[in-house]
Structure 1
Amino acid sequence: MLTDATLQARHLLECGPAEQLTWSEIATALRPFFGPLPEVQPTEAAVLPAIGDPETLLTLTPDGNRLRLTFIGPPAGVGECLRLRADLRELSQLRHVMARTPTPIWQTDSTRQVVWGNASFDDLCARAELPDRSTQPLDILPDDSEDIHVSRASAGKPGDGSQSWYEVQSYRVPEGRLHFAQNIDAVIHAEAAQRNFLQTLTRIFAHLPIALAVFDKDLRLVLFNPALLDLTTLPAEFLSGRPNLLSFFDMLREKQMMPEPKNYRSWRDKLSEVIAAASSDLYVETWSLPSGLTYKITGRPHPDGGVAFLFEDISAEISLTRRFRQEIEVTQAVLDCLDDAVAVFSQLGVLSFCNDPYRQLWDNDPDSSIAEIGIAEATRDWQARCRPSPIWAELRDFTLTLGDRAGWDAELQTLDGQRLLCRAEPLSGGATLIRFSPCLCPAKIPAEV
């Protein structure tokens, strides 16, 4: 045990006035200056020169059961002492910084053994359950020819949730390598979430009935789904070869999966305009193919200057639209063939249909108006062309009633003396049919209000 020491000796050993050290602790403190010392307190006299300074000597003098250590060296000049004091202040500051740095930092020698580490490195060793901090807690093997090596490594056990990932930057230094580790758990989790998201998107794209073709900034195909094979009948080998956009459309033309332009050469020249429109989210076209199918082609901008095209088979929708339009045209033609003036109002009281006799009777064409015509506007127009009658409010209430209704009729007389029979009948879906027929039989006209 240390029994006595001068003030300078305690500065060298970094111990307080009342602190007692063992020989092992003293040897550890002196080893950086004088090299390896015996593990057991020596019993023979010896003189050891300092590493790199042969004029500074450590004299070991046994004295019975005691051992005296004496340090002898040349006196330091004033400038050297002042410089040393400044360096000590800076060293103290650097030690405080290293002790509070949240990033693990350590240094290894040429044999890859740890010779120094900060407090965060000690914490990392503790989390890795390393009994000796001379072993690196992260598995990194920088190549000897590399001045800077960047790698990723994990510490802890994956199963118990203590695993953490680090990005380690290793720099070559004269004494070995200096390593800086930065925790990248957030990055690892984000990358895992991105992979899961891409896998989810891939599964969705695989079952998506809309064909998808994504081209990168060089206009080469980088992504497509199985629906593209089904809708375009393009070979999988061709699509897997990452064709450019021009070759892609050439193959579509060859397979007759696009309308034949009048001048294909000029259409190819205008392909740049198509790409520009798709990049601006403005490209939408409908292709009627020779096979009778109808495709809707939509261009969408893709990140990094790419472009994506969506191919949707709308043949059933187009067929249904055409059939629906044909039914509307037939219904309109039937209404126009009637002698009675007919108007159909929706459940909300909006005029849906009317025939030519209605337009002639009331001298009004609803199709020429941009705004919707409701039952209130229609009855106001009818009332202005007829003699006073109490049925207008009843017509409005009947048209806007949502419950069960029963048809009814009433007589009207226009200002020019024509008598009309007004018939209100409920239709399915809450609609209402109002019909005006010429009244040929004498009848009573409702009293004026």
Structure 2
Amino acid sequence: MTEMGADLLSATIALLSLSVCVLATLFVRERRGRAREVRRREDLSDGMVLRARNGRITDLSDAAAELPGAAPGAMLTDVIASAIGQRRDEVQTALARLIETGEPMHLLARRTAGGQCEVIGFPSGGESVLVLRDARLIAAELERAETALARRERSLSAGWYERETIATLLEIGATIAWHRTADGAVSWCAGQVRTEMGAVAAEQVVTFLGVRPPQREAADGIDRTRIEILPPGGIEPVSLSVVEVLKPDGRRFGFATDASNAVTAERTLSRFVQTMTETFAHLTVGLAIFDRNQKLALFNPALAQMLQLDPATLAARPTLSDLVDAMRRTRRIPETGDYHLWRRQLLGLFDDTEVVDYEDTWHLADGSSINVLARPHPHGSLAFVFDDVSERMRLEQNYRRSVDLRHATLNRLEEGLAVFGADGLLQFVNDAFHDIWGTDADSICAGMHAREVMRLCQGLTIETEVWRRVTGFITSDETRRALSARVTLGSSRILSARLAPLPGGASMVVFADITDSERIALALRERNEALEAVEEMRTAVLDQISHRLRTPLNTIFGFGQLLGDPRFGTLTPDQRDYADGILEASGQLLDTIDDVTELASLQLDPLHDEGADPPLAETLELTRQLLDKRAVEAGVVLATELPDAAIKLRCDAVRLRQIVFNMVAGAIQRSPSGTRILLSATEPQPGRVEIVVTERREAEIPLADFAEDGESLAFSVIRRMVVNEGGRFERRRGTRPSDAVSVCSFDRGAAEESPSRASHEARPQPLPLTR
């Protein structure tokens, strides 16, 4: 606060104190003057006059005779005590001083009979004179004076508080105040505004206002503006809100306050409005807000695109009625039989905007659908939201179709299917379930609990413990794993029950009738046992052949060699021919036994199932791998020319392997050391496949025994197997006289109708297991 302001405040307070003292002095002097005036007056006929000596009444006027107990000789104090009702003690005290010391008295009191009275007492010639006069006028005047004095005191106190408040605000840096004359000169200024950016003094504000261009005066005589001033040492300006009150004589009273919060709020609001505008601009739903006059006040670009209207048309703020007409021209409203009635219902939303709750789906002519939502907006406005739900409705339709298709598919299954929710309630059951259990849609339907369904199933089966596990699996919240079980119906039918967990805590139970599968499995087990018995018999036969034939044959072969040994004597030419014949026949018999043993001991190919169409190249390569060691031991080179992998034969895989194996094994056994054996397969003409084993010997010596070799037991067995598969087998000479070629030819069409295949297909095949 400046020194001028402090002096002005002190002067005002002193002036008010002086006024109070003057008024009090005047009032006291007035009361004393009245007392002296009364004493000076000789005629006191306008009041009740009582004279007393030594406290007793000696004389009284006619008016005083009306007082209770007033009579000569009565005690003056008793009479006054009975006459005065209010301020009695003060009157008695003043009366006692008058009687004892002669001190005058002048008081206002209320009489017992009612009304204000003026009590005046003074000494007179050794007596005490007491006058009681009606004091209504004096009391009213005095009350007015006291009221005025109290009002004046309150005004002075309010002015003091007001000045103290203003001084405090100016001191703490909350505001700046000033006074400017009509010519713009600053007559007084004080205060400062403290902010986070710094403090702005009053001199900076009034200096800035003095150099500011003249502003247009407000109509109400108050000039409001906002300025920015850089505080000393600050880096950012401080925003101040300035208010100046213009007086008719040109003087200005002004003050300035911190406007930083208001500026921050305005900037925040501006950013919020900008953000909302950008948000509305990027919304995929159309937004339209109509004011209380039904004019379009706000819209976003999505609305123009969805309604297929020009944005300029929407920017012209059309009414809702005009907008609906424009939408009708672009066919962006639903097809309706009475357009005018539909429009009136839409416009009727403005009748009471506070309770509007409109929501409808418009199905347009182009097949699209728009969900329209109307809700109240402040100040009687309406907000419309247009949402294109075409894609959503297509997805819902596709979803419903997929659900219906899924249900139809599940109803076509042979397995009985039941789906339970996480709460254990049945959600879906297919027709096969009813067929298996002999139920219908009335006895088992959606909404039944798993315990009820399982209790019904338990009554139709022999097993009981399995249903407790099934019920626990469906209703348990613990970690579940898929499990399966078997149950037997009372009709001896066998069912398989498989339980699998589904997402969301749901469960699925699948029942399949496996009665036929179980019977086939039993037959297969019996057949397997029979095959195992046959295998044991075959092993026993092989043992018998090896023991019963090889042992005597070895004896004959050994004695034949002894007969031809010169150490045991010289033989004649005929005897030597006989001994050589014995050895040759024994060797042929030994080879035959070896062929039979190998043929009987040949195992199934683990790479192919019975009846499969074997890849030819894979069969040739596998044969080479099996016989490669034997060829090396015999000094024979075994090679293969693999055909195209796509060439296949429609024949039994085991039979084909036996044929190729025996062809190559016989060639190795017959060929002398140094022979090259080539295993190959060709397709000389479409639909005809040949498997060729070529024996190329080193010495070009013609095969004298070729005809007899072709009629051997091994070739007979091979020829029979080939014929059974629908093919032909032949053995012929090669390009050289010393070469021999074994050929198996298969016609694919003939192979399909081969006796071996027919017999194989006639065998009972294992049926596929039901799911």
Q: From the two aligned structures, give the one with the greater helix fraction.
A: 2
Q: How does 1:22-421 map to 2 (within 5 A)?
A: 92-101=160-169, 102-120=174-192, 127-128=199-200, 135=207, 141-143=214-216, 146-157=219-230, 160-174=235-249, 176-275=251-350, 280=355, 282-338=357-413, 340-345=415-420, 351-358=426-433, 361-363=438-440, 373=448, 375-376=450-451, 378-383=453-458, 389-399=464-474, 405-413=481-489, 419=493, 421=495
- Partner Cα distance (2:398, 2:300) in 1: 32
Taking a change above 3 Å as real, the CA distance of residues 240 and 130 of structure 1, as seen in their structure-2 partners, is same
What is the CA-CA distance between 1:210 and the residue it aligns to? 1.1
CA distance in 1, matches of 2:351, 2:497: 58
The alpha-carbon deviation at position 200 of structure 1 amounts to 0.9
Summarize the Cα distance change of 1:366–1:135 in structure 2 as closer, same or farther, 3 Å threshold: farther
Distance 1:423 1:131, change over 3 A: same
Distance 1:140 1:153, change over 3 A: farther
Conserved 8 A contact 2:353-2:381: no
| Cα offset, 1:119, TM superposition | 3.3
What's the counterpart of residue 497 of structure 2?
A: 423
Change beyond 3 A, Cα 1:295–1:146: closer
Percent identity over the alignment?
26
CA RMSD for the aligned pairs? 4.4
| 2:379 alignment partner, SS class | helix
Which is bigger in relative contact order (C-alpha 8 A, separation at least 6)? 1
Q: Sort the Cα spacing of 1:381 and 1:110 in 2 relative to 1 into closer, same or farther, 3 A.
A: farther
- Separation in 2, partners of 1:398, 1:265: 62
CA deviation profile, 1:43-89 (whole Å, cap 9, x unmatched): xxxxxxxxxxxxxxxxxxxxxxxxxxxxxxxxxxx67x999x97987
CA change 1:99–1:346 in 2 (3 A) is same
Give CA-to-partner distance per residue, 1:90-149, whole Å, 9 cap, x none: 7655432331244433221112222123435899xx934676786355858454684512
Q: 1:317 to 1:419 in 2, by over 3 A?
A: same
| Separation in 2, partners of 1:392, 1:179 | 93
How far 1:263 sits from its partner (Å)? 0.3
> Deviation at 1:160?
2.5
Larger radius of gyration: 2
The superposition leaves residues 352-408 of structure 1 with CA deviations (integer Å, 9 ceiling, x where unpaired) of 422245467444559976xx5554554345446656611123223444588684552
1:135-194: CA deviations, max 9, x gaps? 355858454684512322124229724512315142325361222434433222222111
Relative to structure 1, the CA distance from residue 379 to residue 170 in structure 2 (aligned partners, 3 Å threshold; closer, same or farther) is farther
CA contact (8 A) 1:170 1:179 kept: yes
**How far does the alpha carbon of each residue in 1:228-283 deviate from its partner, in whole angstroms, 9 at most, with x for none?**
12211111111000011111122112111121211011112212444569854622
Judged with a 3 Å threshold, the aligned counterparts in structure 2 of structure 1 residues 411 and 423 are, in CA distance, closer, same or farther, namely same
The 1:323–1:132 alpha-carbon spacing in structure 2 relative to 1, beyond 3 Å, is closer
In the aligned structure 1, how far is the partner of 2:349 from the partner of 2:433? 48
Change (3 A) 1:164 1:377: farther
Amino acid at match of 1:98: I
- Indicate conservation of the 8 Å contact 2:496/2:514, yes or no: no
- How many residues matched? 368
TM-score normalised by the chain length of structure 2: 0.41
- Give the Cα separation in 1 of the matches to 2:223 and 2:444: 73
Partner of 1:47: none
Moved more, 171-180 or 263-272: 171-180
- Aligned counterparts of 2:259 and 2:276: Cα–Cα separation in 1: 25
Distance between the aligned counterparts of 2:218 and 2:464, measured in 1?
105
Shift of 1:216: 1.6
Which string of whole-angstrom CA distances, capped at 9 and with x for unpartnered residues, describes residues 396-430 of structure 1?
Answer: 3444588684552311437xx68562421537748
Paired with 1:378 and 1:340, the residues of 2 have a C-alpha distance of: 17
Tell me: CA distance 1:394–1:155, structure 2 relative to 1, closer, same or farther (3 Å): same
In 2, the alpha carbon distance for the partners of 1:304 and 1:128 equals 42
Paired letter, 1:229: A
In structure 1, give the amino acid aligned to 2:289.
V
Q: CA deviation at 1:439?
A: 6.6
Distance verdict in 2 for CA 1:298–1:338, change over 3 Å: same
CA contact (8 A) 1:279 1:307 kept: no
CA–CA distance in structure 2, aligned partners of residues 94 and 302 of structure 1: 46
Q: Distance in 1 between matches of 2:349 and 2:377?
A: 14
User: Cα–Cα, structure 1 residues 382 and 331, in superposed 2: closer, same or farther, change >3 Å?
Assistant: same
